[in-house]
A and B are shown apart, each in its own frame.
Chain A
Amino acid sequence: MMEQLKSDNAINEEKPPILGSWKKIYFAVLLNVIVLIILFYFFSEAFK
């Protein structure tokens, strides 16, 4: 049981190499797609 908990914690505590936490990386990925959609929208509108 204790080993199982340790293994779960090890997985959750494994830090990403950038931004410090997984939550921040997830947020960056989602922000990226929102920015892309906005950019695509303005790209299409700019040449209409």
Chain B
Amino acid sequence: MRQLDWIVLATTLLFIVLFGIWKGRGSRNIKDFLLADRSMKWYTIALAIMATQASAITFTSTPGQAYADGMRFVQFYFGLPIAMVILCITAVPIFHKLGVYTAYEYLEKRFDAKTRVLTTLIFLVSRGLAVGMTIYAPSLVLSVMLGVDIRITSVIIGGLVIIYTTSGGVKAVNYTDFFQLIVIMAGMCIALGVALSLLPKEISLTDALSVSAVMGKLNTVDLSLDFHNRYNVWSGIIGGMFVALAYFGTDQSQVQRYLTGESVAQSRLALLFNGMAKVPMQFFILFIGVIVFVFFQFVQPPLVFNPVEAAKVKSGARAQEFQQLEEKYSTLFLEKSEQMREYLQARHQHDDIQAAKKKDELLMLQHRYEGVRAEASVLLTENDQKSDTSDTNYIFLTFVLTYLPAGLVGLLFACIFAASMSSSSGELSALATTSIIDIYKRFVKREASEKHYLMVSRIMMALWGLYGIAFAQYASRLGSLVEAVNILGSLFYGTMLGIFLLAFYCKPVKGTAVFVGALAGEIVVLYCFQYTSIAWLWYNVIGCFVVVGVSVILSVFERYQTSSPPASSLL
């Protein structure tokens, strides 16, 4: 990065923090601090919801994912609008009417204290692990790309978030999220514009799309019904809907956003805006990845995008083999680039036979090209068992660092920092709110002054932030555990959703039945995870159905037992 980039990066981050402190000033009680005094307008909540959901990895990894795997990931979001409508009809009016601080508070009113505690603990464990990862993952990517120690990047992200969340609470979180999403989307638009302008002059947008389609990157809709295929229309609509229902309906980091709405209408509008905008936004981010892919069909990309891993292998015992692979890669690139131009020429001349022939040759070359990248990945692992071979996080940032003009690089990196901060601030405030409302205020100190709860809320936010930073510092030493931690977080949503669906729709079901059903649901999900190859999107559906099924059966059994006369009376 050049001096101008550092200035832009530092200024943007400083502005975000000051903006958060300024907007969040004046909290007098915990309603102010944890719910922004229920005074937020829909547009602020809507962008805060979207910013919290989109982590830094969304903006670094998603374009890389499109580069490697095409646009099929967009299907994951097809079920989200349906979930938003369902939540607007059920959860939003119920939560507003009861005036709860957390979604779990409602469960005690509806069932009992043990169900509330169970869901609170599930949330604290899963989200607690996630907040560490939310800071760690982008810190790692940024440290690699900027050549700065990961301890510094994680302290910057976590430290800045702690400053404005402890000072302004949820109001600061919502306003900074709002601003951060605007900065992020502006940065991504600029990145797309630059990527398009950097394409060779003879390559039009239609040509670019044609090239990406030939290479299988425009795979936005897959109608095949395959339970082992992670992304198709059906897993997106059904599985994605369940994920979104669980995330937006039961995860406090999202529920808290729309609880800040000044009315039911404002909260509903925020969720519905998210339902309308999320799919196009995700399509747009993936599309950037596709254009970067096309760009790298005419300008040679590095064999390995992660600069640290590339440097490691180049200075290791396998350097010569790596160099040979690089030479092979370069030769294939030139050949592919030439074939690409000939394919486009055939298309321009409407020579379908020649175009089809060139297309086949291109696909063959692409297969060999990917093969060399796979060989390089194996070489990295053989050179160092601990090496990070998942290259997708580094593709977009390599493009940004290498090809964007001075100033814009700083802005794009500010976007990544902002995205990381917006997600972690939402998580911190949710974790602190749940710790205070569902644990501290409920079980530790039931009667205390507002001043006391306000002070404890600030301390709790700071403690969760410090925990997140500490996790990020040590996460690299956890090795493969990091991946396990990441997966672990996604194993609880189905159970949580099942509990809430019963709470909303099954009035006869009582607390004990739900409690047992939840435990059964979790056991089944963990079994599926450990012993089956079912795609993870379906875990939420399975977990939810088991919780609902077991709870309803137990309730029917319970009612039958209580309604049937005792055996003695039958005699």
Contacts and interface: CB of A to CB of B under 8 A. Distances in A.
Interface of A: 7-8, 11-12, 14-17, 22, 25-26, 29-30, 32-33, 36-37, 40-41, 43-44, 47-48
B275 A14 contact: no
B86 to A, nearest CB: 9
A30 B268 contact: no
Interface stretch (B31-39, B213-221, B531-539): B213-221
The secondary-structure label for the interface of chain A is helix
Given A16-B269, A22-B268, A47-B218, A33 B82 contact: yes
A40 B75 CA distance: 10
A29 B78 CA distance: 12
Contacts of B263: 14
Contact of B269 (A12, A17, A30, A41): A17
A36 B88 contact: no
B74 interface: yes
B221 A37 contact: yes
B81 A11 contact: no
Contacts of A37: 78, 221, 233
Contacts of A26: 85, 88-89, 272
A32 B276 contact: yes
A8 B264 CA distance: 11
Given A30-B85, A33-B78, A44 B210 contact: no
Given A29-B276, A37-B221, A14 B85 contact: no
A36 B75 CA distance: 11
B212 interface: yes
Contact of A44 (B218, B265, B269): B218
Given A22-B88, A30-B82, A33-B78, A48 B213 contact: yes
Contacts of A15: 265
By DSSP majority rule, is chain B's interface helix, strand, loop, or mixed? helix
A39 B268 CA distance: 26
A11 B97 contact: yes
B374 to A, nearest CB: 26
A48 B355 CA distance: 12
A6 B120 CA distance: 32
29 contacts: A8-B97, A11-B96, A14-B263, A14-B264, A15-B265, A16-B269, A22-B88, A22-B268, A25-B272, A26-B88, A26-B89, A29-B81, A29-B276, A30-B82, A32-B81, A33-B279, A36-B279, A36-B283, A37-B221, A37-B233, A40-B74, A40-B220, A40-B221, A41-B220, A43-B220, A44-B220, A47-B209, A47-B213, A48-B213
Contacts of A30: 81-82, 85
A29 to B, nearest CB: 5
A3 B409 CA distance: 58
Interface in B178-212: 206, 209-210, 212
Nearest to A18: B269
Contacts of B85: 26, 29-30
Contacts of B88: 22, 26
B301 interface: no
A45 to B, nearest CB: 9
Given A36-B279, A47-B212, A41 B221 contact: yes
Interface residues of B, number: 32
A16 B265 contact: yes
A7 B89 contact: no
B198 to A, nearest CB: 20
B93 interface: yes
Contacts of B74: 40
A1 to B, nearest CB: 14
B449 to A, nearest CB: 29
A32 B85 CA distance: 12
B97 A29 contact: no
B97 A44 contact: no
Contacts of A33: 78, 81-82, 275, 279
A8 to B, nearest CB: 7
Nearest to A42: B221
B84 interface: yes
A44 B221 contact: yes
Contacts of A40: 74, 220-221, 283
A13 B209 CA distance: 48
A44 to B, nearest CB: 5
Nearest to A36: B279
A12 B74 CA distance: 34
